[in-house]
Structure 1
Amino acid sequence: MTQAQVQHPVRSMATVTAQLVAGGSPFEMETVDVNGVSTRVWKHAPPDLRAVLESSAQHGGTPALVYGDEHLSHSAYFRTAATLAHRLTDQYGVSKGDRVAIAMRNYPEWVVTFFAAVSIGAIVVPLNSWWSAEELRFGLTDSEAALLVADEERLRSLSADLPELGVPAIAVRSGAQLPRGARSWEEVVGEVTGDVGLPPAELAPDDPAAIFYTSGTTGVPKGALSSHRNMISNIVSGQYGRARSLMRLGLDLPDLLEYMAALPTQVILCVLPLFHTTGAQTVMLPTLANGGTLVLMYKWDTDEALRLIERERVTAITAVPAMISQMLASPRLDDHDLSSLLTLASGGAPAAPDLVSRARNHLTDVLLGQGYGLTECSATATVNGASDYVLRPESAGAPVATVDIVVVDPGGAELPAGEVGEILIRGPGVMLGYWRRPDATAEAFSGAWLRTGDLGYLDQEGFLYIVDRAKDVIIRGGENIYCAEVEAAVHEHPAVADVAVLGVPHEVFGEEVGAVVRFWEGQHVPPEELLSHLRSRIAPFKLPEHIRSTAEELPRNAAGKLMKKQLKEQQGWSSAPPDTSG
């Protein structure tokens, strides 16, 4: 199935959905009680994440993880994870419900640690590897982590804090002197035997499995507590989305299953950080659960991505639109054999509609797609692919069969198709709640419905369109930056009287961080001095790229809230500036 074969869909969404979820189909559903709520779930999904790890043992010598020149087979990956699981229980006393924090770049050890911990019932806490030391410390203390597994850079930034926190650490790929209480990965894992199995553990689908931190509009990170069921839903949802897109082209279910079975084993280039739900839950989990190969990148590099696609015969990539744009614009694009690439999907940030035409011009045989979700609903809520994406590139897609989406007015009444309101989500991926934040959890839900804080509408066929973000957030290359957090850090400078942080449109990153600052009378701070003040308080990716000062009062409404739309227009930040990169 090639992009050239894409034509107008002739089959309705209702017809395709009915065939896909029929009894005996891989996408069959059942209704179960999830914490008191009747919920449609995928009947044939794995029962828990431990089962996902155990399935790797069945794929033998097929590569599971690739990093640089390192290749780890599924059987070797399983044995290493099982060995680490024993070390966690025997040497560190980790038991069900204990939190194990991971703070590192996309190394194979990230994946091994994740599955080793969840397979014994521990709760994994992926920490943002771009966070400052202060932010990492917050993640460790808020989650009350029993153990930290971190790379050299993260350990170095936390070296002064770990003894005080009393958190033991396992050091990954570190040649430096280790802080007190830390041991090397090699020392901890030790010998990996050929007959090792997992330690015994009793798990249930709705047991908590991970805490993914997401900042709130107050600027204080909140931990979205995800269950095993939340995350394993992504494994089937991704397959379902692709299947639905292909059946919309006219395939019947038997032909579809035959076609999908004939596809080569998936080789996925993981360009997104694993501490994000998109990287961990929509890329890592389905790839390994289906016996595929996960090709890890330390950080995004266009030339390296093109080289890896050719060398590893990569079949699919999920990336933020900025990465896809950079790849398509590379002058070396045609120097590489990209014929193995079957799917190119965007996520983590809205994609510009013109991305479709650019991709079709350069990669004519690649099926395109995008989706919508958020940390609180375990990533996948809607999927838009194949001809649907070509015809509706501005849509986030239609909900997968286990997910319900409604759009409501400020009073909570459901709105008809075409009318804009807040998007609410219900389904098996919706989080258990925010970690030890009952008030925030209550605010996030309307009954069984998750309030996304995003504004949008549904069309007559059920396709979702995102028109704005009700939350005050900047998305820079897929990274969420909450304005209130940056504003709070700027306000800590004694010369600052008022500040507004805004998203400045950018051709590559989507948005950059801009700040309009009013200083106290008689005081003025140069931008570099203000940035120096901020570097010890917030992560580098949150630092403002644009800083302007004003002697005027910042515009506010009658309620005292900043009128940011008006301020953006005043600053000329309502449209993307010209590309001056040369």
Structure 2
Amino acid sequence: MVYRPLNKEREGALSIVYWRYLAKWENSPKIAIKQKNRSISYSELYEKSTLAARQIQKEKKPNIGIYLPNSIDYAISYFGITLAKKCIVPIPIEFTIKEIRDTVLHCELSAIITNLANLEKLKPLKMAFPQSLRILTIEDLLSNNNISEQENNIPLASESSEHDVAIMLCSSGTTGSSKRVMLTHHNLITNIKSNILSLSFNQDDITLIVLPMYFGYCNTAQFLTHLYVGATIVINEPPFTPQSLLSTIQKEKITNFTAVPSILVMLMQFKRKDQYDLHSLKMVCFGGGIIAEEIIKGLIEAFPTVGFVHTYGLTEASPRLTCLLPSDALRKIGSVGKPIPFVQVKVVDENGKEKKIGEVGEIIAFGENIMKGYYKDEEATRKAIRNGWLYTGDLGYFDEEGYLYIVGRKKNIIISKSINILPEEIEKVLLNHPLVKEVCVTSEPDEVLGEAVIAKVVPSSSMPSTEIENILEDYCRENLATFKIPKRIDIVPSLDKTYTGKIKRNYNERR
């Protein structure tokens, strides 16, 4: 689908719509977010976000951190920062104090919003930045005692440029340190509208959030999209288990949720999934990694009334670019679908020339959802965005009907005996074996081959490691060309992952 600019009336209204994001539901008693035994209506969310904003707007610097788990408090802080005309900088709750300190320095934070439960962990920051950083608790922000009557009567600034940076999210890369992706209000609103048009979300939806709210996939596609249409959000309580997921869907009459492959694998392997009443569930969106086609087929068979939507996107694209609708889920299995409204996608060669149907090349994308750039990294921004097009680093191809298929990432390519090998192709084969729960294919230096293919496998069985290795080696010989067969299969208890649940890859220095 070719990108079409929004009409002038709509374009001019975007910043107002965003700044008054909650104002359209200002007087609504409808539940906006539910969390365990707590809930908050749209009118309360607007009121509390405004209350928090009155204190946040006192900060002199524009960038404000949020260090909170998935919660109603996270949402209040999020909109409080927005209404105060500041920039949101989510800090993953899993970050170490060193990683938080690095974030403070890189993003030039003037304040971090947290809660009393996490205040102790952030105490070292007070010592490291005694003058330049304030630690604000959500409990204090929501206290009327901290606001004078005069301050309470000062109206919040509601006008701003739609091209101001609204949020700086961590990139979801699986190598090296992540960058901060600058997304504007216009980027977010455009992707929200694309998401609504492609999947027909409305105010009757009840979505279940199981992914981190600071994850780009969840931030726009679930959190903002559902509040935009006036739907209800239910936050799944940690730790995640298939039982908790299914019981919450049954209890709260969930209509949709968004998942990464590991969640769907756990769901498929859960033996009692047919014991729950899931009649309310209409749609499951998934993306963010490789998933075996057998898992998709198994889920469609196990839940015949649920539409499974395979999506593709990047944090840098706000994030969604394509989706495969349920009507094509089996016919085009393995595809990530077609571009969503207001997005254009191409597959090009190294010179930027468009590839023919079926030919593999780099996937590039264009639209008003494409990021402003990487914060304080002009070189990386220039490499990623060329003539308005986002170069994703992903490799793929279009079929004759315009459906996109992802085959791997450029930086992941293993060069063995001068032959380019995509580790994702090997992973896809191994994931189809019932003994494989998770897998990561990487390489190690080899005097003869240059690079040797190594597969790290998390098994789904307690069978002895040597037996599993032998079985998988035979399986690879049956299903892979000789040069793609791993030199070694290592059975491991777990794989290193990013804060968003993606498997980390370790690369040689040449990369």
TM-score by length of 2: 0.78
1:306 deviates by 1.4
| In 2, Cα distance between equivalents of 1:435 and 1:355 | 38
Name the residue aligned to 2:459: none
Partners of 2:191 and 2:484 in 1: how far apart?
40
1:87 counterpart residue number: 55
Change (3 A) 1:351 1:54: farther
Find 1:362's aligned residue among 294, 297, 302: 302
The aligned runs of 1:131-280 (5 Å cut-off) are 131-151=95-115, 155-166=119-130, 182=135, 184-191=137-144, 199-214=156-171, 219-243=176-200, 265-280=204-219
* C-alpha deviation, 1:375, in angstroms: 0.8
1:297 corresponds to which of 221, 224, 236: 236
Q: In the alignment, does 2:493 pair up with 1:554? A: no
CA–CA distance in structure 2, aligned partners of residues 448 and 510 of structure 1: 40
Name the counterpart of 2:20. 51
What is the distance in 2 between the residues matched to 1:221 and 1:236? Answer: 27
Contact 1:148 1:168 in 2 (8 A): no
Give % identity: 25
**Would you say 1:104 and 2:68 are equivalent positions?**
yes
Call closer, same or farther: CA 1:575–1:313 in 2, change over 3 Å: same
Q: Distance in 1 between matches of 2:255 and 2:54?
A: 34
Task: Give the Cα–Cα distance (whole angstroms) in 2 for the partners of residues 329 and 282 of structure 1.
Answer: 26
2:408 to 468, 476, 481: 468
Cα-to-partner distance string for 1:473-516 (whole Å, 9 max, x where unaligned): 9xxxxxxxxx9xxxxxxxxxxxxxxxxxx999667997456898
Q: Find the partner of 1:75 among 38, 43, 62.
A: 43
Measured in 1, the distance between the counterparts of 2:332 and 2:98 equals 43
What per-residue deviation string (whole Å, max 9, x for no partner) do you get for residues 181-239 of structure 1?
Answer: 6454223311499x999612321221111111126677232111110011112221112
Compared CA separation, residues 116 and 197, structure 1 to 2 (3 A): farther
Could you tell me how far apart the structure 1 residues matched to 2:13 and 2:454 are? 47
| Alpha-carbon distance, 1:562 to partner | 8.0
Tell me the equivalent position of 2:326.
Answer: 386
Q: Which residue of structure 2 aligns with residue 571 of structure 1?
A: 488
Q: Map 1:290-439; keep pairs closer than 5 Å.
A: 290-299=229-238, 300-439=240-379
In 2, the alpha carbon distance for the partners of 1:343 and 1:224 equals 29
2 CA distance for matches of 1:410 and 1:307?
49
Deviations 1:333-355 (A, max 9, x none): 23322111111111222333223
Aligned AA (1:459): D
Q: Secondary structure at the match of 2:316?
A: helix
**After alignment, is 446-455 or 132-141 more displaced?**
132-141
Aligned length: 447
| SS across alignment from 1:392 | coil
Give the drift of 1:100: 0.8
The match for 2:88 is 124
Q: Distance in 1 between matches of 2:169 and 2:429?
A: 27
Q: Which residue of 2 is the match for residue 459 of structure 1?
A: 399
- 1:136 Cα offset (Å): 1.6
Name the SS of the counterpart of 2:159 in structure 1.
coil
Alpha carbons of 1:154 and 1:570: their partners in 2 closer, same or farther (altered >3 Å)? farther
Distance change in 2, residues 1:324/1:414 (3 Å): same
Q: How far apart, CA to CA, are the structure 2 residues paired with 1:568 and 1:152?
A: 52
CA contact (8 A) 1:403 1:425 kept: yes
Return closer, same or farther for 1:187/1:216 CA change in 2, 3 Å cut-off: closer
Structure 1 residue 165, shift from structure 2 partner: 2.0
Once the 2 structures are TM-superposed, how far is the Cα of residue 429 of structure 1 from its aligned partner?
1.0
**Rounded Cα–Cα distance in structure 2 between residues aligned with 1:509 and 1:319:** 20
Q: Distance in 1 between matches of 2:85 and 2:23?
A: 14
Kindly state the Cα deviation for residue 137 of structure 1 after the two structures are TM-superposed: 1.4
Q: Using the alignment, how far apart are the partners of 1:435 and 1:289 within structure 2? A: 27
**How many angstroms does 1:150 deviate by?**
2.3
Quote how far apart the aligned CAs of 1:411 are: 2.1
Distance 1:337 1:412, change over 3 A: same
1:271–1:460 distance in 2 versus 1, CA, 3 Å: same
Q: Deviations over 1:134-169 (max 9, x none)?
A: 112111110011110124675444321333124787
SS at match of 1:390: coil
Structure 1: give runs of 5+ residues left out of the alignment.
Answer: 1-13, 22-27, 33-40, 170-180, 244-259, 474-482, 484-501, 517-552, 578-582
Report if the CA contact (8 A) 2:113-2:135 is conserved. Answer: no
Give 5+ residue unaligned stretches, structure 2.
414-422, 456-482, 495-511
Q: 1:82 to 1:557 in 2, by over 3 A?
A: farther
How far apart are 1:361 and its partner, in Å?
Answer: 2.1
Change (3 A) 1:232 1:132: same
Q: Is the CA contact (8 Å cut-off) linking 2:209 and 2:236 kept in structure 1?
A: yes
Q: TM-score, normalised by structure 1?
A: 0.69
Separation (CA, whole Å) in 2 of partners of 1:376 and 1:186: 33
> Could you tell me how far apart the structure 1 residues matched to 2:49 and 2:316 are?
27
| CA-CA distance at 1:280 after TM superposition | 0.8
After TM superposition, give the deviation of residue 378 of structure 1 in Å. Answer: 0.8
Q: Letter of the aligned partner of 1:55 in structure 2?
A: K
Using a 3 Å threshold, how does the CA distance of structure 1 residues 557 and 100 change in structure 2: closer, same or farther?
Answer: farther
**Paired residues of 1:100 and 1:149 also in contact (CA < 8 A):** yes
Contact 1:49–1:115 under 8 Å retained in 2: no
Displacement of 1:279 in angstroms is: 1.1
- Conservation of the 8 A alpha-carbon contact between 1:272 and 1:319: yes
Q: Is the 8 A contact 2:284 2:308 kept in 1?
A: yes
Change (3 A) 1:305 1:152: farther
The Cα offsets for residues 307-327 of structure 1, whole Å up to 9 and x where unpaired, read as: 211111111011112212322
Q: Is the 8 A contact 2:54 2:156 kept in 1?
A: yes
Report the CA distance shift for 1:428/1:145 in structure 2 as closer, same or farther (over 3 A).
same
The alpha carbon displacement at 1:381 in A equals 0.5
Residue type matched to 1:145 in 2? Answer: L
CA root-mean-square deviation: 3.7
Which one-letter code corresponds to 1:186 in the other structure? E
Contact 1:235–1:282 (CA under 8 A) maintained in structure 2: yes
Give the letter for the 1:117 counterpart: I
Structure 1 residues 258-278: Cα deviation after superposition (integer angstroms, max 9, x where no partner)? xx8xx7711000011011101
Provide the C-alpha distance between the structure 2 equivalents of 1:272 and 1:447, rounded to a whole number of angstroms.
33
Describe the shift of the 1:197–1:388 C-alpha distance in structure 2 as closer, same or farther (beyond 3 A).
farther
Supply the AA of the counterpart residue of 1:347: G
Residue 561 of structure 1 and its aligned partner are, at CA, apart by 7.7
Which amino acid letter does the alignment assign opposite residue 6 of structure 2? E
